Structure 1
């Protein structure tokens, strides 16, 4: 559904992303992980077409992303940014309706319910907490009904309950046929919900593969410059990453 071919990106003369290649099929959830400054959000912006690569290309449904018109992009992919700045007092329901094709209140209500935010519908968006705003923003992305969802740190402001609500929903959407790409910091959430994990460091792709293939203690300790142990999870078939 979406792929990169030797994608690089420069900020001035500084190389932020260096020759990254991978592909993500339909019905798939890919998590991008790595330390701060690894280039995760920049890579997501390149995948979304919000940034243009210095070299290489991103293909979305076989089309170069940087050549697609905004309307065509909006029909193919929806993007959840790390934060949403809004000066006007739109309600949560109005924000979500902006993501629907025909300003559809029923679709907006359903999306809010999916992220556990139905009770926020009539609240002013600027009055919401960071976690509440994140859930409303995710609802807007879901309501866009695109085949590809790109989520930049969707669990960053959420408590443990809502982290799992959001990632269970992402998992369900992928299982139903969508392609989901999420930037995550929590390795255990990535291990539990992802089909594949891409590990980044200093703008480069270290590895990409299944959670078991990628989440290896020696590799993670090197990437994060901190001792990390990887163990068998006592309750599920997913690696368990712990500080050592």
Structure 2
């Protein structure tokens, strides 16, 4: 992570806006992105309420990872593709994230990418301590508070015993949990995750989603791209469904995860049951035809 060297006085105040997602929520509008003449995101509007686990769903190639990278500021949105004269906006808790300098944005937002690998010989603890960089001055080293925050984050994802291991010696699932710990150590108000259950066995998947639920219960805004619709049905409060770079449905899981919405998007036949204990939808799928 490279730190922004500007001070707050060098930057104009963030634009104030009223978020449709409510106080503390994420509200993005008209987000487009294209490459080599191909439109990947086509004027996407997405909200993620505060205090909820929001799932970003869609088939492979629908634009989920690209959308998260634009929202996180990793890559800028394309200009003018969806609505000429009406640029994309990404607003969180009344602040314009696209206009915020990188260091200020990193104090608010953490992003867990799907493939965040490294060949550098760093320990697990050092990798998690990267999440503390936005909270200290540019030339300062790790403080006792930083190390305590990193160890708490490792404990929350079940990786406390791995603190002194080199990151490169871990399995894909273990590295995924370390990257989530790095995001937790960042202490964000908004966390974006790209397939956080990727490479994880079922117990670790449930643990990861439990961590996201705990964050949401503390008021953190959570938006996670998920490949598994069943996990989304059981653990998300709010979902956004993408297809072909556009939002085709958004809202409560009980309203979006239904056959009339899912079948044309995924090309399957969906049946929705009700979990006898939680009352949440349980999905089964069959080939169409």
Count of residue pairs brought into register by the alignment: 244
Given the alignment, which residue of 187, 202, 207 partners 1:165? 207
Given the alignment, which residue of 137, 152, 169 partners 1:127? 169
| Shift in Å, 1:205 | 0.3
| Shift in Å, 1:64 | 2.7
User: What aligned pairs does 1:229-244 form with structure 2 within 5 A after superposition?
Assistant: 229-244=271-286
User: What aligned pairs does 1:123-162 form with structure 2 within 5 A after superposition?
Assistant: 123-162=165-204
Equivalent in the alignment of 2:127: 95
CA distance in 2, matches of 1:50, 1:59: 16
CA distance in 2, matches of 1:51, 1:237: 39
TM-score after normalising by structure 1: 0.96
| Shift in Å, 1:11 | 1.4
Given the alignment, which residue of 198, 213, 220 partners 2:262? 220
CA distance in 2, matches of 1:156, 1:198: 19
Equivalent in the alignment of 1:64: 96
Residue 213 of structure 2: SS of its match in structure 1? Answer: helix
Given the alignment, which residue of 150, 153, 156 partners 1:108? 150
| RMSD, aligned CA | 1.3
| Shift in Å, 1:150 | 0.5
| Shift in Å, 1:240 | 0.7
Q: Which has the larger radius of gyration?
A: 2
Equivalent in the alignment of 1:25: 49
Q: Does 1:85 align with 2:108?
A: no
Deviates more, 1:200-209 or 1:42-51: 42-51
TM-score after normalising by structure 2: 0.81
| Shift in Å, 1:193 | 1.5
Offset from partner CA, 1:202-236 (integer Å, 9 cap, x none)? 10101101110000013212111122222112332
CA distance in 2, matches of 1:67, 1:47: 12
Deviates more, 1:178-187 or 1:85-94: 85-94
Structure 1 gap segments, 5+ residues each:
none
| Shift in Å, 1:12 | 2.9
Residue 208 of structure 2: SS of its match in structure 1? Answer: helix
CA distance in 1, matches of 2:66, 2:46: 15
CA distance in 2, matches of 1:8, 1:84: 24
CA distance in 2, matches of 1:192, 1:56: 32
Equivalent in the alignment of 2:18: none
Structure 2 gap segments, 5+ residues each:
1-24, 79-86, 137-141
Question: Any conservation in 1 of the 2:249–2:261 contact (CA below 8 Å)?
Answer: no
Residue 6 of structure 1: SS of its match in structure 2? Answer: strand
Given the alignment, which residue of 69, 88, 91 partners 1:45? 69
CA distance in 1, matches of 2:72, 2:111: 7
Equivalent in the alignment of 1:118: 160
Residue 18 of structure 1: SS of its match in structure 2? Answer: strand
